[in-house]
Amino acid sequence: MLAIIATIVALGARLNSEFFTPEKDYTALVIIEGVIVTDPSRLAVFKSLEEEERVKGVIIRINSPGGTTAGGEELYEAINRLREQKPVVAVINELGASAAYMSAIATDRIFARRLSIVGSIGVLFQSVDASGLMDTIGIDFDKVASGPLKAEPDLDEAMSDEVRASLQSLVDDSFNWFVDIVADRRGLTRTETMALSDGRIINGRVALNVGLIDEIGGQREAIDWLEGQDVEKDLPVWQVYPRAESFEERFIRLLGEQASSVVGINRALPAKLPLDGLISFWQL
């Protein structure tokens, strides 16, 4: 088995070494899709784009319902830093909601389709009250905590007024920051922004009318806009990815996965981990 792993790793290393990197000027394409969480490898991509002189402009293509509020903040700040170095434009395809919209507003220009889903400006904290279920099956939990708000909310009891007030304060503070950056980046008053920040989703046509996006269009229109920012229209557009694993990193990871499979650790772990903490996420 180790011989097979070594062969796979060696082949992957060879493919990585042969991966084509443009030697001339180009427009970079970054794709943000799926659930947004904090991601060091993605931060490294944005930092490299800041420093790469051959990158003359950046298109950020978005198709995401949002994610954790911290993940959205991380992306917002990374794109802000990139925007200070070179023109950056966002293209919202099917969906650019909540933390994904937070990312879009950091760019210089936002394009969306007429029927793209945009908005869902807000922050959410969810918890489960399973106290009724616990009572039904006869399970009771005891806990010793350093303070009344430690480990709250607790799934085995209804949320108290004190806990609810504490969590509401947390949500409100994060929400106010979200509203402030939307107002600042979109040139709206706080009153105008608050009217759009009740969590609603809207389509691209309405978003254009209320000032949440700049133009109707897609990547072609984004390239036209970049041309107006002195980025040559005929430059190739190259999608950029996080740095590939090194030979050693890949070998260690595959070896660890093989060992976990042998001892059965992987079967003890959940297939999916929930989003923890505050989320800025549009839910069906």
Alpha-helical runs (H) found in the chain: 2-17, 40-51, 69-83, 99-104, 131-137, 161-186, 190-195, 204-210, 219-227, 247-263, 265-268
Beta strands 88-97 and 201-203 are unpaired
Q: How far apart are CA 82 and CA 59, in angstroms?
A: 11
Helices 161-186 and 69-83, packing angle to 10 deg: 20
Q: How far apart are CA 143 and CA 123, in angstroms?
A: 29
98 counts as catalytic: yes
What is the torsional sign of CA 64, 68, 74, 80?
positive
Maximum alpha-carbon separation in the chain? 69
One of 127, 150, 169, 261 is an active-site residue; which one? Answer: 150
Q: How far apart are CA 37 and CA 43, in angstroms?
A: 11
Q: How far apart are CA 120 and CA 100, in angstroms?
A: 10
Q: How far apart are CA 278 and CA 124, in angstroms?
A: 6
Beta strands 109-112 and 201-203 are unpaired
One of 64, 86, 98, 103 is an active-site residue; which one? Answer: 98
Any idea which residues carry the catalytic annotation? 98, 150
